[in-house]
A and B are shown apart, each in its own frame.
Chain A
Amino acid sequence: MTIEKSFDQLTEEEKYEHFLNRIDAGEKIEPKDWMPDDYRQSLIRLISMHGISEIMGALPEKEWVPKAPSLHRKLAIMAKVQDEMGHGQLLLRVAEDLMEPLGMNREDIMQNLFSGKLKFHNVFHMKAPTWGDAGIIAWLVDGAAIISQSMMLDSSYGPYARALKRICAEEVFHAQHGESIIMALAEGTPEQRELLQDALNRWWTALLMFFGPKSKENASTSHVDKNIRYKIREKTNEELRQEFFTKYVPRIWSLGLTIPDETIHFDEEQGLWVYQDPDWNEFKEIVTGNGPQSKERLELRKISYDSNAWVREALNPTSKAV
């Protein structure tokens, strides 16, 4: 039997090595565990962005709740909007625990969103002008989200992995809800098919951008390699995008829809999809708050935050009686 030093007596370097051994052995890191600073920072960046994107992501679909074409569709899209807000609640909770030692909390997350410091997913800066957009969002945006989230189901950070497990289970409903909408449109009148095709045309570039830039040169910041080493994620942006093509391009074609990229095809030799890269400068513009609907959505989020202030006030046991 060897007598080991107790954990608290380890040096910082030994703790770092112990941490790497733990994640390599498949152990999960918990909020109060020792973790390197850059691991914490990576997680805060990733999870607060993910969490706030869920909340901002409810907004384009929320627009369709009053306009849904039937009661059944209204109930289903309402349930999806509610799920997205619920996912936001889970993820912000995970981010808050990571931020706690830095003296930050949910209030800081909201303020960083309003000030533009905290970004949200490019897809939620886009307009959703028709019911076809509601269908494409649920089918393909959620389809893309499932691909990028399910690669992190075994994330080394325990609370994130557990949150994603809950989230992915509900995303399956979202994807099928989307399939149901697009199927009805695809099998509908010529006008309905056109509505769907227009929506696909509008969303294609945003869907390519969803997974982020391929190379480091195009990325404003590249944390991918480090996140893979830390077992926060398993795959690169491009690997995820290729998976998305393999999964969805044949289905899009099978419905007789046209992808607004004449060059897209599967190259047997390379074993890869070849496609037209989106303009990554445009991507940067969008995610820094200059997308077609960025300002309106942020404003809506702010109005809701401000107009609900009285509820938080009323529930606050420490607030002074007026």
Chain B
Amino acid sequence: MSQKDGFYSVYEVFSKKTDKSPLQHQFSLLAPNEEMALIMARENFFRREPVADIWVAKRDDIRMTTQEEREMLKRLNNKEYRETRGYGYLKKKWRNYQQEQFTEQSLLSNSKGGKE
């Protein structure tokens, strides 16, 4: 009576702390079916912590990366053209025109109109 004869499967547990939180991986557990996996997830991981939603997924159904693939992920470090730090030189440029470069915050906040 074990994984060997197909009784238990490994389930991965994900949860959201509040409605606004991103889904987060919690841990894994052994369960004979997904209903039991949900019950076990509540018992094992949310005896105290607040939780807004719980997902369980059979590990076999999740495509995870291999070590080889994860080694490849590390090499992607030349992405400045996609990031604000690739555009830091604009700060000096704008100064030449007596203007401040917009910060990330000022770009994302709605203009209130009128003069400050």
Which residue numbers of A lie inside 8 Å of B, CB to CB?
Answer: 6-8, 30, 32-34, 79, 82-83, 86, 89-90, 93, 96-97, 105-107, 162-163, 166, 170, 309, 312-313, 315-318
Contact = CB atoms under 8 A, between A and B. Distances in A.
Nearest to A6: B68
B94 interface: no
Main secondary structure of the interface of A (DSSP, over half): helix
Main secondary structure of the interface of B (DSSP, over half): mixed
A82 B42 CA distance: 13
Interface in B4-22: 4-8, 10
B96 interface: no
Given A89-B29, A93-B28, A105-B4, A33 B44 contact: no
A93 B27 contact: yes
Contacts of A6: 68, 71
A186 B66 CA distance: 56
Contacts of B48: 170
Interface stretch (B30-38, B50-58, B79-87, B104-112): B30-38
B1 A309 contact: yes
Contacts of B44: 86, 89-90
A83 B4 contact: no
B5 to A, nearest CB: 6
A315 B33 contact: yes
Contacts, number: 65
B49 to A, nearest CB: 9
A82 B32 contact: no
Nearest to B31: A315
Given A89-B29, A170-B48, 10 more contacts: A6-B68, A7-B67, A90-B27, A106-B3, A162-B27, A163-B27, A312-B1, A317-B6, A318-B6, A318-B7
B63 interface: no
Contacts of B33: 315, 317
Nearest to A33: B67
Nearest to B7: A316
A86 B48 CA distance: 12
Contact of B68 (A7, A89, A316): A7
B95 interface: no
B98 interface: no
B62 interface: no
B63 to A, nearest CB: 13
Contacts of A315: 7, 32-33, 36
A212 B40 CA distance: 34
Contacts of A33: 67
Q: Of B27, B33, B40, which is in contact with the most chain A CB atoms at under 10 Å from its CB?
A: B27
